[in-house]
A and B are shown apart, each in its own frame.
Chain A
C-alpha cells in the first residue's frame, strides 16, 4: 500500500505528512490575522503572495536585464561596475522609504524631526563606491602593466558567450 501511495503521490508518506502539517499551520496562522480587527479584507494575503510574485516576475527579470546591460561593457570593466552598483542598490532597496521620504509625518510624530539628508547621504555613498571602484581598477591596471591587459584565454569547458539571456 505504501508502495502504491509512493507511486501515485510521487514521494514518501512522510513527505505528504510534513507538507500537509506545514500547510495546515500556515493556513491557521494566516486565519488569525484575518480577524477584521487586525486586517481589512484579504489585504494581508495579497501582501503575503505579492512579494513572491513581484520578485519572480518583475524584480528578478529587471535585475537580469540590468546585469545584461553591464555585461555589454568591455569585460575588464564589468565587475568594477557590478560591485558599487550592487552595494548601492542593496542600500536603495532597503532604505528607499527614507531616501524618497515616504513617511515624514510618522517620522516627525515619533522623533520630533523631519526625514532629512537620507537621499544626499545615499547619493554620496554611491558616488564614493563608484569612485573607490574606479581607483581600484586604475591601481590594478597600472600594477599589471599593458601586457596583462590583453584578453585572457577562455577557460576550457565553456562556450563563447554570445547573446546569452543570463550569463552572470
Chain B
C-alpha cells in the first residue's frame, strides 16, 4: 500500500543533512551526557541514605539497585554530583532535540508497523522518548519550583529514570550495529571538514534517514553541530555559576539560584526554606531554647553552653539537590564532641530533629561516617556572625558531602541510637 501524501512519504523530507552519520554523531554526543545525568541521579538517591531512619523519600519495597554507603569526603562530592546532574541535564536539552529532529522521518515511516519486532521496537522508542522528555522536563521544572502536575516529583522522577535507563539500554543495543557501520563507512571526522559548499547529502537508502530528494543545504553538518553546541554552551553559561559559586554566580543570569540570589553580608547566601515557611519565629529560638542531646546521658544545652564548648571552624559547602551550592565558613561544636559529652559509645546513627513542626525534611538520620567526621559541626555561626534565622539560628547541622536538606536547620534535638 502506498503511503498517504505528507510526512509518511520519504519525499516529504528534504534536509540534505539527515542521514546515518548525523544521527550517529548527535547520538554519540548525547549518550555520555545522559549517562552522567542518570548516574548522578541514582548516586543522589544513595546520598540521602534511604536505609536510615525516615530518610527514604522513595517508597520502600522492590529492588534498590543503587543503595550503598555514602562517604563524607571529599566535602564537595554532593555539590559536584548535583551540579553535574542539573547542569548536564539542562545542557543536554538542545542535543536531545537535535537528535529527535535527525530521526523525524522514521516517526512517520510507512507502513507504521512492518512486523511484530517493528511494533515492539516502536513501543520501546515511545518509552525512551517519553521518559527522556519526562525526566528532563520534570527536573527542569522542579529546579524552578514549578509543579503543574498531580504526582510526587521525587517518586515519579526516580521511577521515570528506570523507564529511561532500560529503554535506552535496549535502544543502544539494537542500534549498535548501525552506529558502528555509520562510523566505519562514513568516518568520524571526514564530514566535519566539509564546509557549506562541500556539504553533500548522504546516499539514499529506502527506509533510511537520508532523503531521496535532498534540497540544497543552507548550513553544513559542522554548522549544525556548532548551532546545537552554541545552544548548549549558552545554557551552560547562564546555569553553571549557581553550582560553582564565587564570581561565576553573577554570570548565572537565568539559573534559579544564580545572579538573582546574590546577597551581601555574612548571611547573604541562598536558602532553600525560609524560617517563615518552616513556621519558626523569633519566639521559638529565644533564650528559652535548649538543644536536647541524648546518648547514654540526656542533656539540655543552651546556646551559651554550646558557645562555651570548643569551637571549630570549617569551610564546607551547602549543596542542594536542585543543583545550586555555596561554600561558607561555618563555626560551632563538633558533633563528635557532643556525642562524647552525652557518653555515646559504639557504632551509632544520629537522628536530628528540627523545631520545624511539619514537613518530610524536618528530621534526618546521619550514618557513622557523617556524624563521626571531624569536620561535621553543629554550626552556631557563619562567616564570623551569628546564623541568621533563615540560615537556622540558633544552631544547624553542617556535614561534609551531605545533601543540603539533611543539614537540618533550627535543630531541636540530637539523638544517638545504636546502628
The answer to whether the Cβ of A16 comes within 8 Å of any Cβ in the partner chain is: yes
Shortest distance from the beta carbon of B2 to any chain A beta carbon, whole Å: 18
In the assembled complex, the CB of B208 is this many whole angstroms from the nearest CB of chain A, namely 16
Chain B residue total in the interface (Cβ 8 A): 95
- CB neighbours (8 Å) of B15 from chain A are 166-168
Give the residue among B62, B94, B151, B271 with the most A Cβ atoms within 10 A. Answer: B151
Contacting pair A165 B260 (CB below 8 A): no
**CA–CA, A20 and B228, complex, Å:** 34
Asked if B167 is an interface residue, CB under 8 A from chain A, the answer is yes
Identify which of B101, B104, B170, B260 contacts A117 (C-beta below 8 A).
Answer: B260
Task: Tell whether, in the assembled complex, residue A22 and residue B134 are in contact, meaning their CB atoms are under 8 Å apart.
Answer: no
CA distance A125 to B216 in the complex (A): 32
CB distance from B6 to the nearest CB of A (A): 9
**Which of A30, A97, A156, A158 contacts B146 (CB under 8 A)?**
A97
Partner of A9, one of B14, B117, B137: B117
Complexed CA–CA distance, A115 and B145 (Å): 11
Interface of chain A residues 80 through 137 with chain B (CB within 8 A): 82-83, 86-91, 93-95, 97-99, 102-103, 106-113, 115-118, 121-122, 125, 129
Is A141's beta carbon under 8 Å from chain B? no
Known A15-B174, A158-B214; contact A112-B156, beta-carbon cutoff 8 A: no
B224→A158 contact, CB < 8 A? no
Q: What is the total number of residues of chain A having a CB less than 8 Å from a CB of chain B? A: 88
For chain A residues 10-42, which have a beta carbon within 8 Å of chain B?
10-11, 15-16, 18-23, 25-26, 28-30, 32-33, 35, 37-41
Contact check, A155 vs B199: say whether CB atoms are below 8 A apart: yes
- Whether A38 lies near B152 (C-beta < 8 A) is yes
CA of A119 to CA of B130, assembled, Å: 29
Interface on chain A toward B: helix, strand, loop, or mixed SS?
helix
Q: Is the CB of A51 within 8 A of B137?
A: yes
Give complex CA distance A35, B131 in Å.
19
Given contacts A52-B133, A111-B271, A166-B12, A47 and B147 within 8 Å (CB-CB): no
> Scoring B residues 140 to 152 as 1 if CB is less than 8 Å from chain A, else 0, what string do you get?
1100111111111
A155 touches B163 (CB 8 A): no
Nearest-neighbour CB distance to chain B for A156, whole angstroms, equals: 8
Instruction: Decide yes or no: A33 and B235 within 8 Å by CB, A83-B230, A113-B261, A158-B201 being known contacts.
Output: no
Enumerate chain B residues within 8 angstroms of A75, measured Cβ to Cβ.
Answer: 218
- A-B contacts besides A55-B100, A112-B390, A152-B196, 12 pairs, CB < 8 Å: A11-B115, A18-B173, A19-B124, A56-B104, A86-B227, A91-B238, A102-B146, A111-B270, A129-B234, A158-B201, A161-B216, A164-B14
B: residues with CB less than 8 A from A are 12-17, 59, 62, 90, 93-94, 97, 100-101, 104, 107, 114-118, 120-121, 123-124, 126-127, 129-131, 133-134, 137-138, 140-141, 144-152, 155-156, 159-160, 162-163, 166-167, 169-170, 173-174, 196-201, 213-219, 223-224, 227-228, 230-232, 234-235, 238, 253-254, 256-257, 259-261, 270-274, 276-277, 390
